[in-house]
Structure 1
Amino acid sequence: MAGHGAEDHPHGADRLCEAGDRVYSRAVRRGRVPRADAEQVPCLLDLALLHPDPDDMAWLVPTSPQEVMTRLLHGLYDEMSAGQRRMGSAVAAFEWYAGLGGPSSAPAAGEGAAIRVLDGASRIQAALDRATEACTTEVLTVQPGGIRREHELSEGLHRALELRGRGVRMRDLYTHVARHGQGLLNYLELMGPSVEARTLDEVIDRLILFDRTVAFIPANSDRTMALELRHPALIAYLETVFERLWRLAIPLTAALPDPRIEGISHREQSIAALLAEGHQDAVIAERLGISVRTCRAHIARLSETLGAASRTQLGVRIAQVGLDGPVGEAAVGVPRSRSSS
């Protein structure tokens, strides 16, 4: 798409250019088009009329004409004073497109696609806002990483306050490291009893689940793309995963279990278990939500406490004292000092 920007196609979704008309019509008729077909019409991607096929990123699938029409009308109502005349033209335009795919080409009114790719922060934000507006009962979230920064918490604060105002219950899962962030404590104090938080050594990647009907998960590593999921089987699976993690997690209001070996912290126990599984420092740091530098500092203290002079010897000592299993298991030995090893 080099050399073709949105400025080459300065129009809205209700009045497509000739090239966009041809490609979008073909996509509606056939159900999808090759990504190469859209290279000359970046407007279709910019206006979210086409989006990546989650089964094959080399193809683009059309947003259903009914969904586009609904989105347009919602925006037009917000700008009624300036755009009331455009409403009729938007409806008329997409009624014609809707007929191209036949009666079974689009979901029923009020339903969304089972899997939808959201490309870009603005589209992810808009989809989250729509789900927040429709939510009536419960939100479940998994928040990986370490200490939650103030700006990260403030990004979703307006949604959380809106949900609290409607009596929606929220349950959040974090890593144990997040307990050390004052920003998270301030957020939970502000939200009061409407939010319940628990922590684990490790959690899965980010998940937001609204009313057990629609979920959002990252679609790439830098989180510039997301998947909006509405398929009942996927939702049920994610709900089960969350509930099982929730039962294992420790309430934020409760203290972490006492270390099973004197002189070794709860975090160092977690690191020891992951070292015993053969993971590298970077992987351990990512899974526990800490920096690689912090992880290596913990490994150094762990080596000193267990009297290990090398990485290989550390692995042996971890197994000898029983730190190679889950953190909740009882210790089977007591480390000796460095001089006695």
Structure 2
Amino acid sequence: MTTGAHEHGAEELCQAGLDLYPRALHEGRVTQLEAEPVPCLIDFGLLQPDIEDMRWLHPVAPAVALPRLLRNTADAITQQRQREARLAEAFEPLMRIDGPHAATAETPTISVLSGLQRINSVITQTMASAHEELLTIQPHNGRNAASVRESLERDQALLDRGARIRTLYQHTLRHSPAVVARYELLKGDIAVRTLDEVTERLIIIDRAVAFIPANKDRTLALEVRNPALITFFVITFERLWRLAMPMYPEAAQQPTLNGITPRQRAIASLLVEGHTDASIADRLGMNVRTARVHIAKLAATLGSESRAQLGYLIGQSGILDQEHQGAREQLRER
């Protein structure tokens, strides 16, 4: 599929797009195959994937799509006004179509974003208008250099407007050179904490918009503007934040109890739950070999000679009870 014929702005919708979009509004959906000749409809957010059946695309109501497209224009004031006029003119006949399956402008929406480029573009646009706060949970740090530069620029711009940034990572990233260097480059109100385990990626902007992945490889994302869901995400973040250990700007030392490190206690907890080495490694953000090294050290500390005996000794040692007591004391100190 080529996109050369679709190098146009949203105010100049191609004829193929103008033919397919009204039909999608009337019928409530169109197939991915039908939309292949008009990728502009997806690029401009007029069609979005069905998260439950990726063969279908659903139309976004013109009343919802139009303001979003207008927000995307960040050019000079004169160009902005000209573009708004052309865009409103292009949408005028579409606004009269009453699509039975399209969300209304008054309904808080959950939008599906398809493709890493569009996901990053929408996040960048949303952050450009933010002024208060960015809350993020980052389970991994596998981004490429280009995306790192882009995120640094938008984070610094947000900090320059007086906002604050709070981020959660896993303990395995506490000493990652890339992560540490990132926060040394940023200037402003920043705090970073870590946990043994975190949720999937979460971005909350000004407690008004959230972004979460919608598939395993993160090529789909949900843009959430529903107030109830945003409140739920914020509460979840704040509870994890209270349990987490400070990493930046001042790092707290992870306590060792009776020769057992915090990472080994986390592994012990997962072992007694019956998790495999691979599952433990995945949940704690490390490779299987590293997980097995920690398990071997834990076994040596407790004097275990077999995996079955290790589980018994973990229970008898009381190290998991010590972990819970330490967590309670940590919470009381904050």
What TM-score comes out, normalization by structure 2 length?
Answer: 0.83
> Of residues 159, 162, 184 in structure 1, which corresponds to 2:179?
184
Aligned-residue sequence identity (percent) comes to 45
Q: State the distance in 1 between where 2:131 and 2:107 align.
A: 18
Which residues of 2 match residues 46-57 of structure 1 at below 5 A?
46-54=43-51, 56-57=53-54
**Partner residue, 2:90:** 93
Between Structure 1 and Structure 2, whose CA radius of gyration is higher?
A: 1
- Is this contact kept in 2: 1:117–1:228, CA < 8 A? yes
Q: State the distance in 2 between where 1:306 and 1:148 align.
A: 38
Confirm or deny that 1:202 pairs with 2:197.
Answer: yes
Provide closer, same or farther for how the CA distance between residues 10 and 192 of structure 1 changes in structure 2, counting only shifts above 3 A. Answer: closer
Q: State the distance in 2 between where 1:265 and 1:258 align.
A: 7
> Of residues 273, 289, 313 in structure 1, which corresponds to 2:309?
313
**Partner residue, 2:75:** 78
Q: State the distance in 2 between where 1:151 and 1:93 align.
A: 35
Which residues of 2 match residues 228-247 of structure 1 at below 5 A?
228-247=223-242
**Partner residue, 1:265:** 261
Confirm or deny that 1:222 pairs with 2:217.
Answer: yes
**Partner residue, 1:334:** none
SS at match of 1:78: coil
Aligned-residue CA RMSD (Å): 3.2
> Of residues 128, 131, 137 in structure 2, which corresponds to 1:136?
131
Q: State the distance in 2 between where 1:50 and 1:104 align.
A: 12
- How far the C-alpha of 1:61 sits from its partner, in A, is 1.6
Q: State the distance in 1 between where 2:188 and 2:86 align.
A: 47
**Paired amino acid for 2:29:** R
- How far the C-alpha of 1:257 sits from its partner, in A, is 4.0
Q: State the distance in 2 between where 1:290 and 1:233 align.
A: 34
- How far the C-alpha of 1:310 sits from its partner, in A, is 2.1
Aligned residues: 324
**Partner residue, 2:162:** 167
SS at match of 2:324: coil
Structure 1 window deviating more from structure 2 (76-85 vs 222-231): it is: 76-85
**Paired amino acid for 1:291:** N
Q: State the distance in 1 between where 2:189 and 2:122 align.
A: 23
> Of residues 29, 38, 55 in structure 1, which corresponds to 2:26?
29
> Of residues 104, 110, 114 in structure 2, which corresponds to 1:119?
114
- Is this contact kept in 1: 2:136–2:167, CA < 8 A? yes
5+ unaligned residues in a row in structure 1: which ranges? Answer: 331-341
- How far the C-alpha of 1:329 sits from its partner, in A, is 3.5
